[in-house]
Chains A and B, each alone.
Chain A
Amino acid sequence: AQTVTQSQPEMSVQEAETVTLSCTYDTSESDYYLFWYKQPPSRQMILVIRQEAYKQQNATENRFSVNFQKAAKSFSLKISDSQLGDAAMYFCAQETSGSRLTFGEGTQLTVNP
């Protein structure tokens, strides 16, 4: 069974600084997709970024980028120029067959002004 692990229950960053959230996963599949979702206090699940495992290039979406290390089964999220609105719970997720998502435990990010 797929597992996703986020080893940092909480992280904090100063506004305008950079922070990296860690995620590791376990799968026997060769092709798969990885995602980061953001859950602000409203509890809405918002897609931040996605990575296709067969692509070596790391995905980037504006201030959000990933460091995807396939051999190490590592998928970290880097947030640059952190903003107060980035404060949220961040979930790493791996897609299993049929687009089902297996989520990690989440990392609560605090952004300090």
Chain B
Amino acid sequence: DSGVTQTPKHLITATGQRVTLRCSPRSGDLSVYWYQQSLDQGLQFLIQYYNGEERAKGNILERFSAQQFPDLHSELNLSSLELGDSALYFCASSPLGSSGNTIYFGEGSWLTVV
């Protein structure tokens, strides 16, 4: 158990809908990351937050957004869903947002868009 908690574990929704994925980082970790794992794109970094502030952006679509709350939990919002958004979405956390920190992953949220 990495200590990173993600909900829901599985989610099936229709095209055009909106979903929210939730993540609680490990106790004491200030930095949260979101990654997407799909068959055609592999593992891709989406976005990073550190202590409530956006720190870095990767290949995140404009239809996707995220935030980190004062209690450090984070949410990833996916809207206007398309079939291609079906993927495993990982949340990860690290103590700081700086170089050298080991990043621990949650178990992921499986999103299926039908």
A interface residues, Cβ below 8 angstroms from B: 31-33, 35, 37, 42-47, 50, 52, 91, 95, 97-103, 105-106
CB-CB nearest 10 A-B residue pairs? A45-B105, A103-B43, A99-B101, A100-B45, A98-B56, A44-B107, A98-B97, A99-B94, A33-B100, A43-B108
* Proximity bits, B20-57, A CB within 8 Å = 1, else 0: 00000000000101010100001111001000000110
Q: How many residues of B contact A (CB 8 A)?
A: 29
Smallest beta-carbon distance B45→chain A, Å: 5
Q: Which of B62-106 contact A (CB under 8 A)?
A: 88, 90, 92, 94, 96-105
Partner of B56, one of A45, A50, A100, A106: A100
Please tell me which one of the listed residues B42, B88, B104 contacts residue A43 in the complex, with CB atoms under 8 A apart: B88
Q: Which residue of B33, B99, B108 has the most chain A CB atoms within 10 A of its CB atom?
A: B99
A95 — which chain B residues lie within 8 A by C-beta?
A: 99-100
Smallest CB-CB separation from A50: which chain B residue?
B102
